[in-house]
Amino acid sequence: MPPHYIYGIKLNSMVLELQFKCLEIENWTRSFTMRGMDREEVVYRIDEMYEPESLDEMEAYSEAILYARLGVLN
Protein backbone atom coordinates (compact mmCIF):
# COMPACT_ATOMS: atom_id res chain seq x y z
CA MET A 1 0.00 0.00 0.00
CA PRO A 2 1.35 3.46 -0.83
CA PRO A 3 2.29 5.59 2.21
CA HIS A 4 -0.08 8.41 1.28
CA TYR A 5 -2.98 5.94 1.29
CA ILE A 6 -2.16 4.81 4.84
CA TYR A 7 -1.84 8.44 5.96
CA GLY A 8 -5.27 9.18 4.46
CA ILE A 9 -6.86 6.28 6.32
CA LYS A 10 -5.28 7.36 9.60
CA LEU A 11 -6.38 10.97 9.08
CA ASN A 12 -9.95 9.88 8.28
CA SER A 13 -9.97 7.73 11.40
CA MET A 14 -8.86 10.68 13.54
CA VAL A 15 -11.54 12.93 12.03
CA LEU A 16 -14.24 10.34 12.64
CA GLU A 17 -13.10 9.91 16.23
CA LEU A 18 -13.26 13.67 16.81
CA GLN A 19 -16.74 13.87 15.25
CA PHE A 20 -17.94 11.02 17.46
CA LYS A 21 -16.57 12.70 20.57
CA CYS A 22 -18.30 15.95 19.58
CA LEU A 23 -21.62 14.12 19.25
CA GLU A 24 -21.11 12.62 22.71
CA ILE A 25 -20.26 16.07 24.10
CA GLU A 26 -23.40 17.53 22.55
CA ASN A 27 -25.51 14.83 24.20
CA TRP A 28 -23.86 15.37 27.59
CA THR A 29 -24.26 19.14 27.25
CA ARG A 30 -27.95 18.83 26.46
CA SER A 31 -28.42 16.54 29.45
CA PHE A 32 -26.52 18.81 31.83
CA THR A 33 -28.32 21.92 30.57
CA MET A 34 -31.72 20.28 30.98
CA ARG A 35 -30.74 19.45 34.59
CA GLY A 36 -30.25 23.18 35.18
CA MET A 37 -26.45 23.37 35.26
CA ASP A 38 -24.97 26.72 34.33
CA ARG A 39 -22.45 27.18 31.53
CA GLU A 40 -19.35 27.07 33.74
CA GLU A 41 -20.41 23.82 35.39
CA VAL A 42 -21.17 22.21 32.04
CA VAL A 43 -17.76 23.21 30.65
CA TYR A 44 -16.02 21.95 33.81
CA ARG A 45 -17.76 18.56 33.64
CA ILE A 46 -17.09 18.11 29.92
CA ASP A 47 -13.46 19.12 30.40
CA GLU A 48 -13.10 16.46 33.11
CA MET A 49 -14.53 13.77 30.83
CA TYR A 50 -12.83 14.76 27.56
CA GLU A 51 -9.39 16.25 28.00
CA PRO A 52 -8.49 17.93 24.69
CA GLU A 53 -5.03 17.10 23.40
CA SER A 54 -4.74 20.01 20.97
CA LEU A 55 -6.17 23.44 20.29
CA ASP A 56 -8.19 22.00 17.40
CA GLU A 57 -9.85 19.50 19.73
CA MET A 58 -10.52 22.22 22.29
CA GLU A 59 -12.14 24.39 19.62
CA ALA A 60 -14.29 21.50 18.35
CA TYR A 61 -15.42 20.65 21.90
CA SER A 62 -16.23 24.29 22.60
CA GLU A 63 -18.35 24.53 19.46
CA ALA A 64 -20.17 21.31 20.36
CA ILE A 65 -20.99 22.70 23.81
CA LEU A 66 -22.10 26.04 22.36
CA TYR A 67 -24.39 24.55 19.72
CA ALA A 68 -25.94 22.05 22.13
CA ARG A 69 -26.67 24.73 24.75
CA LEU A 70 -28.16 27.04 22.13
CA GLY A 71 -30.35 24.22 20.87
CA VAL A 72 -31.71 23.52 24.34
CA LEU A 73 -32.15 27.13 25.42
CA ASN A 74 -33.86 28.31 22.22
Question: What are 5-14's pLDDT values in tens digits?
Answer: 555 666 678 8
Q: Pick the closest to residue 4 from 14, 12, 32 (CA basis).
A: 12
CA distance 1 to 68: 41
Q: How does pLDDT run across 47-72, given as a tens digit for each residue?
A: 999 988 899 999 999 999 999 999 99
Reported in sequence order, the residue ranges of 3-47 that DSSP labels E, i.e. its strands, are none
CB 28 within 8 A of CB 49: yes
